[in-house]
Amino acid sequence: MRLLTHNMLSCNRKGVSNGFPLGIEASKLEVKEVDFNSDFLRHIYPKIEWKAFVDAAKSLGLNDLPEHVDDSMLEDDDFLHSFHHALLEVHLEEGALICPETGRRFPVNRGIPNMLLNEDEV
């Protein structure tokens, strides 16, 4: 699972009012190189919840992203490369995602998060 996916996931368990962003517990990471494509980054950037993304990156040990961004940074090559790496190249292979409100854990196995809820949670 890439942080791009993490940025789209939230806990929708019954009664949870704000299940975003999910915390990350990482036990195995993998880095898979992806062709750098600045257009993709510029297009996806407005859809990213930046704070959630930066915090998630930190929990994976990626500390070189700025806390705040503005559009002008999308012209900065160094910034784009850090953004690219954290968003698309680092994969959470094993671990868990954790609901910020209830602590409910969603396992990540073989790189795939499992967002299924039990019957009594929906």
CB of 75 to another protein, least distance (A): 17
Query: Residues 88, 90, 92, 96: which binds another protein (CB under 8 A)?
Result: 88
Strand order in the sheet with 105-109: 23-31, 90-98, 105-109
Give whichever of 7 and 62 is closer to another protein, judged by the CB atom. 7
Tell me: does residue 50 bind another protein (CB under 8 A). no
Dihedral pair phi/psi, residue 103, rounded to 5°? 80, 5
Binding-site ranges for another protein (CB under 8 A): 1-2, 4-5, 7-12, 19-20, 34, 37, 39-40, 43-44, 47, 49, 88, 106, 109-117
